[in-house]
Structure 1
Amino acid sequence: MQSDLPKVLHPLAGAPMLAHSIFCAQAINAQKTIIVAGHGSDQVTAAAKKYDEDAQIVLQTAQNGTGHAVDQARDALSGFDGDVYVLYGDTPFITPEILDQMAQKRTDGASVVVLGFDVPAPSNYGRLVIKDGALDAIVEAKDATPEQQEIRLCNSGVICAPRDLLFDLISEITNDNASGEYYLTDVVSLARARGLSCAAVECTAQDAMGVNSRRELAIAEAHFQDKARASAMDNGATLLDPKTVWFSYDTHVGRDVVIEQNVVFGPGVTVETDAHIRAFSHIEGAHISQHVVVGPYARLRPGAELADGARVGNFVEIKNAAIGEGAKVNHLSYIGDASIGDAANIGAGTITCNYDGYFKHHTEIGARAFIGSNTMLVAPVRVGDDALTGSGSVITRDVADGDLALARATQANKTGLALKLMSKLKAAKAALKKD
């Protein structure tokens, strides 16, 4: 990856690649999740705990192959009586449905189940050797015979086996191979030597896609986005230019939502039925209710809550603020750490001055209030129901229900002073040029 960041922590659709494997485990209600970490284990641990606080982290201090890596989880799974799935932090597209197919093979009698995929030119992938309809062996590419290299069914690395059998077989693995490593894949031949049945489940090459470079990460991102766009449209959303809409791993979009061009969704966004997201908007950590219009060129940051029928217009930023039903924030405003009442109208250039350099403070604007253009609301402050503020006001004290607040300096016009001042400045500039 040419990076100081551990590979599995590079983001895909707004979450580390590792998190996608964690999501898959959660979806099948895995009783335990064990993360085998090596390089950058502190960072890997912090990321894993963010997405699964119950995940257990074990360390592989020496990189001696996949069999050795899985063996590090032996003690963490002591006493566990069930099947173990081995997933990979850089293989983010394995789905719960695929794991269900592997579980079915176990139910049908296979002791070890391996996930494979078909590719026309297998290159360096390990090959799955099928004999009499069953999985007979996995052969690494560098150890394969010319005949075996012609096999198209390749090893994804994903495996399922009972806990006791898996670690019993791992104990028998040797490093007598071209790489001098302990291959997890050897468990198949070892199981077959005991007369146990092994099986393969086939998925697509895209499902088994691994990421080992920045280029492959970009390919994986494109694959995720294509699937997310298709899913959104299949579920009733309109994407005016699908290729320019970017989703996060957890974006939820309702029916009859319209999403215009060049919209980016970060993590934690829900868009309810019949909302309209206009072009060039960036949205993360926000809840958008029915019949809301957002944008164009709007930014919704974490904690933005937009109630039914709210309007957030061009060059408006909302952060940690609730916008009431039918309220409007249409132009060039910043609303942070605030609550805006139903049907309130926020004029252009309004700013909630919420940060004093150390603490954030709250602004409350009541129902049907009208905030004049270019109002500065210095929090903490409350503007009551049906209250008004005059344009250009700096509001530092609460405004009672129904009151009009005016807070600006008295205007003074100095006769002819503009011409005199400009003439003086022009002369000074000319003198500088001569020097």
Structure 2
Amino acid sequence: MSVALIILAAGKGTRMQSDLPKVLHEVAGAPMLVHAMKAGAAVDPARTIVVAGHGAEAVAKAAQGWDADAEVVLQTEQLGTGHAVAQAREALAGFEGDALVLYGDTPFIRPETLEAMVAARASHDVVVLGFEVADVTARYGRLIEDADGALTEIVEFKDATDAQRAIPLCNSGVIAADAALLMDLVAQVGNENASGEYYLTDIVALARAAGKSAGVVRCNEAETLGVNSKVELARADALFQAAKRAEMVADGVTLQMSDSVYFAHDTHIGPDTVVEPHVVFGPGVTVENGARIRAFSHLEGCHVSRGAVVGPYARLRPGAELAEDTKIGNFVEVKNAVIDEGAKVNHLSYIGDAHVGARTNIGAGTITCNYDGVFKHRTTIGQDVFIGSNTMLVAPVTLGDESMTATGTVVTRDVPEGDMAVARARQDNKPGFARRMFEKLKKKKAAQAKESK
């Protein structure tokens, strides 16, 4: 059966105290909306429809940046979750399959849970995701079941009786149903309730009244955590980090000071890699087995191969590709560059838009001058090259295999294989000049001090 995702992402998020739409606030380097889309991908959706409202253009850009095929529909007035789902009616016209309603501000629902919901559709016309709370004063809607365990209705907390509020089984808001049935039920939802809104939750009672069945799939409460404020956002990020660190250690990664390491939502690290304290992984990082990421390094959009050493205090930017047994040392930045096997960039260097050949040694203070103010240009360095300290490589430029640059050289032309490039002014020592100059300056300073008294 085909599945269409309907992701509700129209809210402004007033409590966020931000101009940014709520669903675009990030957890672990990705908007919450992307987390919802990633979870939904587990059911292999044929369609993904994002219901946007506040900041719709930015929401659409984020959604389609993750999934170019995602469709965005507008909810111009926020009149409740039922009204939001109804905005997908036209986009789903003629769709034959199930619809799964998710929320762009609920980033922790596990893919396995959504798979269980889709599977449960074989037994029920409408499936609701529920969870049990220890504290029955929590202001969630309650799932009301009959004696046989069938779901009969969902009651919002504001509208619930004291007896209903005592029920620990709560509503997450996530619902699965046949797409056509869902739209038929949503069209019947009214707003005669304490909030004057069109509740999606009303479809359960409407379905039962029409002779349809409804059931509950249960999950852990932590999966349903919604984020409505910066305080909750910080908590969500902390929960993600704790879970990711535990996952990394269980998979064989050594974290020397785990609480100080920050992971992105998509960080992948192989076993036997050591991560030292205070390392930040931005989005798009893969580190293979047996590498070492040393303290205070920052990595994003890069690939680090087996046996490589990065840092301390190194920065790998998008497009950095490190082959096996490479070394990127302290205060080195690499961007959009391939560093081949065994090459070393040990100190105080910038390597951007470049290819560095195998076993090449880049001396301290080397810079690839890749930007002319308008265009980026590429530097190509061959194998077994020795780049002297404080070399400026003015791109576009190519250095052949086993070539060399003298310390302090500014390279503006290609260096043939096996040659050494020297491009610096000849040193001229002026006898006694330093002593005479300082004596003159000291006398001038003394005279100025005397005049100021």
TM normalised by structure 1 equals: 0.97
Where does the alignment leave 5 or more consecutive residues of structure 1 unmatched?
A: none
1:51-90 equivalences under 5 Å are 51-90=66-105
Q: Does 1:332 align with 2:332?
A: no
Q: Does 1:320 align with 2:336?
A: yes
Letter in 2 for 1:38: G
Q: 1:186 to 1:430 in 2, by over 3 A?
A: farther
1: distance between equivalents of 2:355 and 2:124?
Answer: 59
Structure 1 residues 227-286: Cα deviation after superposition (integer angstroms, max 9, x where no partner): 111111111111111111111111111111111111111111111111111111100010
- Corresponding residue pairs, total: 434
Which residue in 2 is equivalent to 1:50? Answer: 65
Confirm or deny: 8 A CA contact 2:42 2:112 kept in the other structure.
no
Which residue in 1 is equivalent to 2:180? Answer: 164
2: distance between equivalents of 1:382 and 1:284?
Answer: 27
Letter in 2 for 1:272: E
Q: Of residues 303, 306, 309 in structure 1, which corresponds to 2:325?
A: 309
Which residue in 2 is equivalent to 1:12? Answer: 27
1:356-435 equivalences under 5 Å are 356-430=372-446, 434-435=451-452
Deviation at 1:123, TM superposition (A): 2.3
Q: Of residues 109, 124, 149 in structure 2, which corresponds to 1:94?
A: 109
Which residue in 2 is equivalent to 1:110? Answer: 124
Where does the alignment leave 5 or more consecutive residues of structure 2 unmatched?
A: 1-15
2: distance between equivalents of 1:61 and 1:431?
Answer: 77
Structure 1 residues 111-139: Cα deviation after superposition (integer angstroms, max 9, x where no partner): 11111112222422111112221112111
- SS of the residue corresponding to residue 246 of structure 2 reads helix
2: distance between equivalents of 1:144 and 1:64?
Answer: 20
Could you say what the CA RMSD is over the residues aligned between the two structures, in angstroms?
Answer: 1.2
1: distance between equivalents of 2:119 and 2:339?
Answer: 49
2: distance between equivalents of 1:295 and 1:428?
Answer: 48
2: distance between equivalents of 1:425 and 1:78?
Answer: 86
Structure 1 residues 42-101: Cα deviation after superposition (integer angstroms, max 9, x where no partner): 111111110011011100011110000000001100111111000000001112210111
Which residue in 2 is equivalent to 1:257? Answer: 273
2: distance between equivalents of 1:283 and 1:339?
Answer: 19
Which residue in 1 is equivalent to 2:239? Answer: 223
Q: Does 1:32 align with 2:47?
A: yes
Structure 1 residues 16-48: Cα deviation after superposition (integer angstroms, max 9, x where no partner): 110111112222210000000010001111111
2: distance between equivalents of 1:74 and 1:32?
Answer: 13
Letter in 2 for 1:361: H
Confirm or deny: 8 A CA contact 2:312 2:329 kept in the other structure.
yes
Which residue in 1 is equivalent to 2:38? Answer: 23
1: distance between equivalents of 2:443 and 2:332?
Answer: 42
Q: Does 1:173 align with 2:158?
A: no
Confirm or deny: 8 A CA contact 2:42 2:115 kept in the other structure.
no
Letter in 2 for 1:143: D
Deviation at 1:372, TM superposition (A): 0.6
- SS of the residue corresponding to residue 437 of structure 2 reads helix
| Identity between Structure 1 and Structure 2 (%) | 60
Confirm or deny: 8 A CA contact 2:264 2:283 kept in the other structure.
yes
Q: Which runs of 4+ in 1 moved over 3 A?
A: 423-435
- SS of the residue corresponding to residue 128 of structure 2 reads strand
Letter in 1 for 2:124: A
1: distance between equivalents of 2:440 and 2:89?
Answer: 84
1:202-217 equivalences under 5 Å are 202-217=218-233
TM normalised by structure 2 equals: 0.94
Structure 1 residues 358-402: Cα deviation after superposition (integer angstroms, max 9, x where no partner): 111111111000001111111111111111111111111111111
- SS of the residue corresponding to residue 117 of structure 1 reads strand
